[in-house]
Amino acid sequence: MKKIAILLPFHWSAIQGGAEYQARLICQHLVASGRFEVHWISRHIHPDFQAQGYTTHQIGKRHGLRAKAFFFDHMALSRLLREIHPDVIYQRVGSAYTGIAARHAMQNGCRLIWHVASDMDVTPFNVEEWRPSTPLKYIDKRHLEYGVRHASDIVVQTHDQNRLLGEHYGRQATTLIRNLHPLPAEIIDKSGSLTVLWISNLKPNKQPEVFMRLARACLDMPWVQFVMIGEPWLDAAQQRTFEHALADIPNLTYLGKLPIEEVNALLARSHLFINTSLVEGFANTFIQAWMRQVPVLSLNVDPDGLLAQEGIGFCARGDEAALMQTMRGLLADASQREQIGQRAQAYAEAHHSERNIQALIDMIEKA
C-alpha cells in the first residue's frame, strides 16, 4: 500500500478555500479507493476536526513572527516527512512547503507532485508595496521557486498556467487537470426574485469594493438583490469599514462565511455570478455556478478564454463599465441568461466532474 502525504498550508477544516476544497475531494477519493495510506500535513487544522480514514499532522507555529511565513517550518516539516517516509507527496498552494517537499523528495527517493493552485504560483515575485512582511514573503517565494524547478511532476489547471511555467521557469507541466466538483444535488429553480452573487473571502486581491459599486449603481432596479458570501476581512478595522459601507447599499446583503452546501443551494436559485478578482487559478466558484446554470461575469479572470470560447459568461478585461453594462443587459434578458446557463451546465458536467480525479490517481499509482 503506497503512502501518500497531502501537504497544504491549511487543512479544509481550517479554511474553506478553493485549493483546500479540491484537496479534500482528492483525499476522499484516495481513502475510498482503499489502495493508499493517506497522511495530511498542514500548519492550520481545526482543533475539533477528527479525520476519517486518514491521519492528520499539524506542524509549525500559528502565532507570532513564525506564523508570518512558511519557511520557518523547514525543520519540523523535513523531520515529519522523514518519519512518514511517503512514496508520493502531493503538494498544493505554492509556498515554502513546495521547496521543502522537493528537497525531501530528491534526497529520499520519493516523488513530489506539485499542483498549481493560482497563476501567482508560476509568476515571479513582484514588490508592489513595501511592508514589514515583504522580506519574509520573498524568502517563501524563493523556496517555492526551488520547488517549481525540482518537482518530479507538475499539474496545472489551465494552458495559461503552463505558458507561465515555461516562460518564467523553463518547465512544462506533466499534465493539465481541470478542477473537479460533484454534480449538483440541489433542485435548480430560477423562478424566484433576481439574485446576483459574489462569493469569495474578503481580501484585497478579490476586490469586494467593485461588487459593492455594482450594487450601488443598480439601486434603480429594486427587484434585483445583490448578495456577498465569504470570510470576513482578517483585519478588524477593515471589516468594520466594510460593514459601515454596506449600510448605505440597501439592495446588498452580506451573509458572511457559509458551508459549501449552503453556497451551492443559493447558486441553484441565483441568476448571475460576479467575480472581481485581480487574479485566480481556476476558481471553484466558476464551476459551482456553471453546474447550477448561472452565467459567470468576470472583471479580469477568464481561464484559457473559456467564458467567451464556450459562451458560458463574459470577461470585461478590467473594464468595470463593460462589466456593469453586460450585467444589466443579462438581468433584463431572461432568455439569454437561460441559454448561457444551460450551456454552462453542459460544459461543466463534461469537463469538471469528479471523473477528472482519475488522471491524478493514475499519476500517483505510477509514481
d(CA 331, CA 251): 15
- The answer, yes or no, to whether residue 236 has pLDDT greater than 90, is no
d(CA 276, CA 226): 14
Q: DSSP readout, 287-339?
A: HHHHHTT--EEESS--GGGHHHHTTSEEE-TT-HHHHHHHHHHHHT-HHHHHH
- Provide the angle, in degrees to the nearest 10, between the axes of the packed helices 18-33 and 357-366: 60
**Bridge partners, 229 (sequence order):** 199
Nearest alpha carbon to residue 1 among 38, 41, 53, 40: 38
d(CA 114, CA 274): 29
- For 315-350, the pLDDT digits (tens) are 999 999 999 999 999 999 999 999 999 999 999 999
CATH class of 2-180+353-366: alpha beta
- For 157-210, the pLDDT digits (tens) are 999 999 999 999 999 999 999 998 999 999 999 999 999 999 998 999 999 999
- For 47-87, the pLDDT digits (tens) are 999 999 999 999 988 777 677 789 999 999 999 999 999 99
Confidence tier at 134 by pLDDT (50, 70, 90): confident
d(CA 314, CA 144): 33
Q: What's the pTM value of the predicted model, to 2 decimals? A: 0.86
**Bridge partners, 253 (sequence order):** 227
CATH of 194-351, one of 3.40.640.10, 3.20.20.70, 3.40.50.2000, 3.40.50.720: 3.40.50.2000
Phi, then psi, of 7 in degrees rounded to 5: -125, 115
Question: Alpha carbon 237 to chain centroid distance?
Answer: 25
* Domain positions in the chain: 2-180+353-366, 194-351
